[in-house]
Amino acid sequence: MDDASVIIIGAGIGGLTAGIALTQAGYSVEIYDRVSELRPVGAGISLWSNGVKVLNALGLTRQMADIGGSMERMQYLSATGTLLNDIDLQPLVAQVGQCPYPVARADLQQMLLDAFPGQVHLNAKCIGVDQTEDKAIAAFADGRQATADILIGADGIRSTVREYVLEEAIAPRYAGYVNVNGLVPASSELADARTWVIYVGDHKRASMMPVGGDRFYFFFDLPLPEAAPPHPDGVRAELETAFAGWCQPVQNLIAAIAPDTANRLPIRDVGPLERFARGRVVLLGDAAHTTTPDLGQGGCQATEDAIVLARCLKAHLSVTDALKQYEADRVPRTGKLVLKARQRTDDIHGKDPAVTQKWYEQLASEPPEAVTGAIAKVILGGPLH
């Protein structure tokens, strides 16, 4: 279908990528977000090759390379610093035809904003959705309304649009751990500048990956009960206690975190859902499928959604047929990844301590090609080859 108008609720990775893809496909797109200033949740993200391919297809090859870090190896180490596995990522790149890019989220969001030619309305909290036979309608907290031929809910894990599409509210499910993340200046006292390092032990992880601008994106995973309050003395004190006795680079990393710069997020997921579309209203990104970060695929899947949705709209004469086709394409892939990520979360974070112990042993004995092969399989399941 041609010349349709589109409202997107949410200006995250999913909403902005969809905005760019649909504008390029010839639609007239406006994006609405509830915030007064766009600030991404979390500091960094690894955009695996399937996500990068989508952005390349949207003409952002150079911009991605400019903001992306150079990640040539991946190393697993024990809490005491013993090297468990050293994985060359070149075979992966050769197999899938595109390198992954670790990036600072703020850089990615700015790049997507710069590439989206339409209007992004801020201070626009969507509080309700409706539709007539030929229009979709969004209602905003300040009394405004917007109408268009298609409404996309890219409004994240606690999506308002999802409640309309599913005709029920779905509570995100706590995944059993808290993630602390941020950015620090790159330094050889922390890690090699071209290697993603992951320290594992006690069901926890401490990790650094190189992003553009000579920085490391770091994260720590701490298995905690859902209601566990933050440490009264702040995130750094929490990490010093949780990672006491871990090797020197981990201590150096904790010491390098500038006060009040780390994000602390209880990790939750949503799905698998069977329905992404209702008439002229459709879900995309975390609103449709929130995966735990343990596969690094949530943002990549949001970009895949965007390009598939644009293709489906181009290929069908009716909006509802196009959205049904999108749903049929995306439900199986994203549902599988929600479950795969959940399983990996459980394996890594000690849901069954014997399984996590086995995972540590497997890490030390697994051939590097088995690791890159598993990552390639996920990437090659995407829509672009």
Q: Which residues bind ligand FAD (CB under 6 A)?
A: 9-15, 32-35, 42, 45-46, 51, 124-126, 154-156, 160, 179, 181, 265, 285-286, 293, 296-300, 302
Q: Tell me the closest approach of the beta carbon of residue 337 to ligand FAD, in angstroms.
A: 10
Q: Tell me the closest approach of the beta carbon of residue 229 to ligand FAD, in angstroms.
A: 19
CA 49 – CA 377 distance, rounded (Å): 11
Q: Tell me the closest approach of the beta carbon of residue 318 to ligand FAD, in angstroms.
A: 26
Whether 152 contacts 309, CB under 8 Å: yes
Q: 3-class DSSP state for residue 128?
A: strand
Q: Rounded to 5 degrees, what angle do the CA atoms 283, 285, 287 make?
A: 55
Instruction: Please identify, using beta-carbon distances, which residue of 289 and 354 lies nearer to ligand FAD.
Output: 289
Instruction: Please identify, using beta-carbon distances, which residue of 4 and 267 lies nearer to ligand FAD.
Output: 267
Q: Which tokens belong to 187? A: 């330094």
| Torsion angle (degrees, nearest 10) of CA 249, 250, 253, 255 | -100
Q: Tell me the closest approach of the beta carbon of residue 48 to ligand FAD, in angstroms.
A: 7
Instruction: Please identify, using beta-carbon distances, which residue of 196 and 243 lies nearer to ligand FAD.
Output: 196
Q: Tell me the closest approach of the beta carbon of residue 64 to ligand FAD, in angstroms.
A: 13
Instruction: Please identify, using beta-carbon distances, which residue of 136 and 300 lies nearer to ligand FAD.
Output: 300
b/e map of 195-220 (b: 16 or more CB within 10 Å)? bbbbbbbebbbbbbbbbbeebbbbbb
Whether 18 contacts 42, CB under 8 Å: no
Instruction: Please identify, using beta-carbon distances, which residue of 263 and 365 lies nearer to ligand FAD.
Output: 263
Whether 189 contacts 249, CB under 8 Å: yes
Instruction: Please identify, using beta-carbon distances, which residue of 210 and 293 lies nearer to ligand FAD.
Output: 293
Q: Can you name the residues that pair with 182 across neighbouring β-strands?
A: 218
CA 170 – CA 258 distance, rounded (Å): 36
Q: Tell me the closest approach of the beta carbon of residue 354 to ligand FAD, in angstroms.
A: 26
